Structures are given as C-alpha cells and as structure tokens.
Amino acid sequence: MVSAPSGAGKTTLVNAIVEQMDSVRLSVSHTTRPKRENEVDGRHYHFVSRDQFQTLAEAGAFLEHADVFGNCYGTPRGPVEDAIDRGRDVLFDVDWQGGQQLRNSALGDAVVSVFILPPSIRELRKRLERRAQDSKETIETRLKNARIEMEHWKEYDYVLVNEDLDQSCARVRSILAAARQKRDRFTQMESF
C-alpha cells in the first residue's frame, strides 16, 4: 500500500512499479470524481455515480472507502482477493484514510505500507503547478491538506522521500522483495 499527499509522485511511482514487476498488480479503485481527459475507465479508475458507489459500499464490495476532496474512492474487494489467491502482490494507491482502513481490513498484517513524501513543500507546490490539472484555489487546498496528510507518516512501515523516480522505484522494489521473505508468507514451512 502506498500513500502520499497529492503531488508527491505516488501515482507515477506506483505505475512505474507495476510496469517493472510482473508479479505486482495495481488495485483499480472506484471513484465518483469526474474522469479526466487522459484517463481510461477500468484502467485508471472505475468511474461511477455517487448512487452506484453508495450501493457498492452498502453491499460490502470495498475493502476500504473514503470521501476525499468531495469525491468518493473505494478499493474493490473481489479483484484484490482474486489476485492474492493467484499469488500476486497487489499494490494499493490510497490516501492515509484508506491506508488505515486497509490495515484494519481482512488483509490485516499482510499489508505492507509505504508513505511517500515530497522533498519539500516548495517542491510539492511546483509539482502541483506543473501538472496543470487544478485551479490555483484547488492547489492551495491540496497544499493545506498535504500538511495534514503528511502528519500520518508515522503510521506506515516505510517512509521515503521521492526526490528521484528511479531511486524511489528501486527502494519500493526492495521493500516488496523483503516483504515476500517474511516468515508469515511461507505457509508451507510446516511440511518442509
């Protein structure tokens, strides 16, 4: 599970990891936010109405869900459980609220959490402005919320400052490799 304030490079990092590692699958969340021009339904998100989202949430279809910046986001249970049953690692791109819910979900101790920090607030502002996806008002809101979100770094297993994409990818790959070697991942050891 990877969390970060908006603009820290989380999505870019997660997408790079999925491209580099065949054993890793990205959990594609449901959202009520409008689809951006470059996004593909089912690949970037499952875009649904607020009513559809509410119905799914009430049916227990999400491992976690939260309202972020006035839009709902949720991690679908079925595809995650299917991927895990097939021996795949699942990478979650969630905010800190979703992170708390995933750690408290049926996945429990199997969740390895990484919090991504920007090099500085000044750099975070530059990244948000370079994306050219948000108004100045929205950028200010994201920066204000980023300070609150960054206070949650202590709740994560690993923390890294995303200064360089290649170095950050290498660090996340190392974290995933180490997590696969944890004792509780070796379920066949009794018969060994």
Q: What is the CA radius of gyration of the chain?
A: 17
Supply the pTM of this predicted model: 0.83
Which residues, other chains included, contact 158 with Cβ-Cβ below 8 Å and sequence gap of 6+? 112, 113, 114, 115, 175
Mean pLDDT of all residues belonging to the chain = 89
For residue 107, the model assigns a pLDDT of 86
For residue 116, the model assigns a pLDDT of 95
For residue 30, the model assigns a pLDDT of 96
- Half-sphere exposure of 143 toward its Cβ, with a 13 Å CA cutoff? 17
Residue 186 vs residue 6, higher pLDDT: 6
For residue 59, the model assigns a pLDDT of 96
pLDDT one-digit tens code per residue, 12-63: 999 999 999 988 989 999 999 999 888 899 988 999 999 999 999 999 999 9
